[in-house]
Structure 1
């Protein structure tokens, strides 16, 4: 059994929808959809910004004398033809920034010109729109299509057709079909111009979205690198806190004859250290992702630089290491400085492998007693980078270096060299200088 068909919509509903659409079209053709900014106002070059004004001046200079000549051929006096032609063509100067306002002036002027052209010589059969009016009107339609919304263009096209239809009905013997010609050509121009405008808007939105995505990607990279540094610092600080706890707990057994007050003080120190460790582990559980596990090995330092350089050589990069004697000894440097220096060299060598394969590279780590200087210099690449790396699939190299230098209160200098190579120079203070806050 077939279900009953839906009843037709009530006539009042159709009439109400029609009235709403008419009001929307009337509002669209009476209110510009954009501020009066010139076309190509955002163009990077000055000649591009001036181009619309040059075009509109050329249009007026062309169509004003042409329209006067055409109207005088219809039997108008020179003064009347000049006045009507001026109203029909001079507003074309506005189409670079106010095309809809220009249409408000030009369409009534074209209608008035058609009325004054009635009764002209029989040889002049183009009515109600003269040839010059049709061509100038198409330029106006193109300007509208490049600036206004689709609803406005539909309203303009309907009003244009209605004006020609009214003139044709009032004077049926005079019309020769130019109204249909103007409607067809206007529709073609509006469709092409509207498609170009919508395509340009889509490209502009795509560029804006890509810019936003790139900023978000950079911000996410920065946050990920800071989280990584925080996890590593947890391991460094946790080691020292564990040592404090063990020393405070074992002090009463290692040092004999401690008074009760001293034993209670050591017990309080051990309890505070254990509480700090507990809080740090809670913080680390938040910083660490769900699928990440804690590292079992101790954090690396300068004592593992030689292994890092050897691994880089095995990756196809001829690298050499210059390390001041004694810097790699355990406990010689603050652990945070030791770890940061290693990570800076690691990131710099990783960038060489990715972006400058085969480049001759030199790593130098030295100290003057006040600062630790880390220098990584590579020459021009011996071969092209892989398409993946050249396409920007790199890691957090420079971001990680900057964050680690900020952590220690040092300075970082990076940049290309004249021969096509790259230089990374970091200075990490060994004193008690306060780190730069992010």
Structure 2
């Protein structure tokens, strides 16, 4: 429950409930003062004070209903003991005091915790049983009990409605997130269908070209085979990525993740594609795990793709060294002149850095002296496993 604000703050903020409560309290005090002489034998000089104890606790409803009830209940005990009732008046308190005591009981039942409410209910019921006339004490005690439990019932109903509304709001957010994910999955499938169709056409064209054209040189036939193999590999990778996004129970056909052992094949296929590549691979692939191997493969693949895209025809040198500490990769190529660079810059470097950082590695780039160099270091064990 929020911390109650002071009554001055309520008045300064112009809250209408504070002004309304102030007006009602003033009216009740104006009624309690003169009518006190009709119910009890009170000296004239004490009447304003006794009437204030009957009316003013109502002001505490907004800031501390429990304190207001305590003051009203204490004065309800003291008034019958201090002042005699006039003939013809059988109740222990005047009407204003009785009304405010019931209102404060309702306020406590609405705002305070259940243990506090039960204590206030028990004390109030005992007070009514003792102070009220014998022919009405049980009825008043039952009435207080009914009021308290009715207020608690309404309070719990309102609270449950609020909780249901909050849960519905959370459900709406989850439903919106689910809709976004489903839309992304649909887009991914559409993208797969489009790319797979065109890649399939490229693969088929490359595979059938030697049969559709006569006198194809062996070098050109080998290039067609490289194009077909690269296309098939791209299709398998697209299917694997699509399987991650699938939301149905069907099992997607996943292509195996590449490893360090696949790097020589990557270098060879790159050379067949016409890239003047010189490469060197030192070390044992058994020294690193599958995650590091797949990360290293993707980084080398991106480096070779960037070199062929941004510096076509430029000699490329790739060196991979595997030790017990990790994998070191260096890929360098001569930079082309500004006039011959036609490819637009992409997100390859940022993607490589993200891949390396995910396993605790680093990627550095150097582009001076007419040469573009990418250095990469990947630890033999991912940083997440070391931390775990």
Question: What is the TM-score of this pair, normalised by structure 1?
Answer: 0.48
Mapped to 2, the partners of 1:255 and 1:91 lie a distance apart of: 107
| Match in the other structure for 1:35 | 3
After TM superposition, give the deviation of residue 93 of structure 1 in Å: 1.6
In structure 2, the residue matched to 1:244 is 202
Alignment of 1:133 with 2:94, yes or no, is no
| Cα separation, partners in 2 of 1:141 and 1:267, compared to 1, 3 Å | same
Task: Give per-residue Cα distances to partners, 1:210-248, cap 9 Å, x unaligned.
Answer: 222222222222222221221121111001111222233
Distance 1:55 1:192 in 2: 25
Determine if the alignment matches structure 1 residue 116 to structure 2 residue 82.
yes
- 1:100-179 paired onto structure 2 within 5 Å: 100-117=66-83, 119-127=84-92, 129-164=93-128, 176=134, 179=137
Shift of 1:60: 1.0
Q: Structure 2: any 5+ residue segments left out of the alignment?
A: 7-13, 253-343, 347-388
What are the Cα deviations for residues 306-365 of structure 1, in whole angstroms up to 9, with x where unaligned?
xxxxxxxxxxxxxxxxxxxxxxxxxxxxxxxxxxxxxxxxxxxxxxxxxxxxxxxxxxxx
> Is the contact made by 2:54 and 2:96 (CA closer than 8 Å) also made in structure 1?
no
Structure-2 residue corresponding to 1:98: 64
Deviation at 1:263, TM superposition (A): 4.7
User: RMSD over aligned Cα, in angstroms?
Assistant: 3.5
- The structure having more radius of gyration, on CA atoms, is 2
Alpha-carbon distance, 1:110 to partner: 2.2
Alignment of 1:387-406 (within 5 A): none
Indicate conservation of the 8 Å contact 2:243/2:251, yes or no.
no
Q: Cα deviations across residues 140-187 of structure 1 (Å, max 9, x unaligned)?
A: 22223332344432221111233456x65xxxxx96566545423322
User: Structure 1 residues 179, 52: closer, same or farther in 2, change over 3 A?
Assistant: farther
Question: CA separation in 1, counterparts of 2:191 and 2:33?
Answer: 84
Aligned pairs, number: 246
Aligned to 1:201: 159
Alignment of 1:397-436 (within 5 A): none
Kindly indicate whether residue 41 of structure 2 is the aligned counterpart of residue 83 of structure 1.
no
2:32 matched to which residue of 1? 67
- Distance, in Å, in 1 between the alignment partners of 2:37 and 2:135 is 22
Q: Tell me the residue number matched to 2:21.
A: 56
More contact order relative to length (CA 8 Å, sep ≥ 6) = 1
Report if the CA contact (8 A) 1:252-1:263 is conserved: yes
Once the two structures are superposed, residues 7-32 of structure 1 have per-residue CA deviations (whole angstroms, 9 ceiling, x without a partner) of xxxxxxxxxxxxxxxxxxxxxxxxxx
Mapped contact 2:55–2:96 kept (Cα < 8 A):
no
Distance 2:176 2:122 in 1: 50
Instruction: Return the alpha-carbon distance in structure 1 between the equivalents of residues 135 and 19 of structure 2.
Output: 33
**Displacement after TM superposition at 1:265 (Å):** 4.2
Q: 1:245 to 1:180 in 2, by over 3 A?
A: same
Cα pair 2:124 2:144 within 8 Å, conserved: no
- 2:189 paired with 1:231: yes
What SS does structure 2 have at the residue aligned with 1:124? coil
* Equivalent residues in 2 for 1:290-369, closer than 5 Å: 290=248
Distance 1:95 1:214 in 2: 37
Secondary structure class of the residue paired with 1:79: coil
Q: Is the contact between residue 199 and residue 235 of structure 2 (CA under 8 Å) also seen in structure 1?
A: yes
Cα distance change of structure 1 residues 281 and 204 upon mapping to structure 2, 3 Å threshold: same
C-alpha distance in structure 2 between counterparts of 1:121 and 1:293, whole Å: 91
- Counterpart among 225, 229, 236 of residue 267 in structure 1: 225
Matched residues in 2 for 1:181 and 1:60: separation?
28
- Unmatched tracts of structure 1, length 5 or more: 1-32, 39-48, 169-173, 295-431
| Contact 1:161-1:179 at 8 Å conserved across structures | no
Look up the match of 1:215.
Answer: 173
